[in-house]
Amino acid sequence: MKPHPRVIYTTPEIGSVGLSKDQATKKYAHKLKISRVSFSENDRAITDNKKLGWIEIYIYRNFVVGASVIGIGAGELLNFWSFMISNRISIYKVARTSFAYPTLGEVNKKLITNYIGPKFFNNPLIRNMVRLTQKFLP
């Protein structure tokens, strides 16, 4: 799939790349996962008083199939997701990436951790390992 970012340069900017939320939902139904982050959770957006907006990604089997953004820098943020979709890069590969702080681009890292976190911490094997480890700690 060759995604083409689409951006409307209004205030706030509106953009998307890959499948829309409706398209992804129809195509992948109950197997689609959605990760969403509000700009109000981002330190740079708070510092610059640009908290209005959000970004969300649509994930199927650990690969991003689409992204939507409303807010400052929508076009800039979509470049990252366009690259991910074009090159079919797993969300887990990006999880190891460091992002500059404080930048608006950190919302991309937050989207990834929001997706991976529950999968990791809701894993019964991981929970049992943590409980076992806690027994040996003072």
CATH of the domain at 45: 3.30.390.30
Residue 1 located in a structural domain: no
Residue 99 binned pLDDT confidence (cut-offs 50, 70, 90)? confident
Q: Looking at the predicted structure, is the pLDDT value of residue 119 above 80?
A: no
> Per residue in 44-82, pLDDT tens?
999 999 999 999 999 999 999 999 999 999 999 999 999
For 98, the domain range is 6-136
> Model pTM greater than 0.75?
yes
How many Å apart are CA 107 and CA 2, to the nearest integer?
A: 23
Query: What long-range pairs does 53-58 form, CB within 8 A, spacing at least 24?
Result: 53/12, 55/107, 55/108, 55/111, 56/21, 56/111, 57/81, 57/111, 57/115, 58/18, 58/19, 58/21, 58/24, 58/25, 58/28, 58/32, 58/33, 58/34
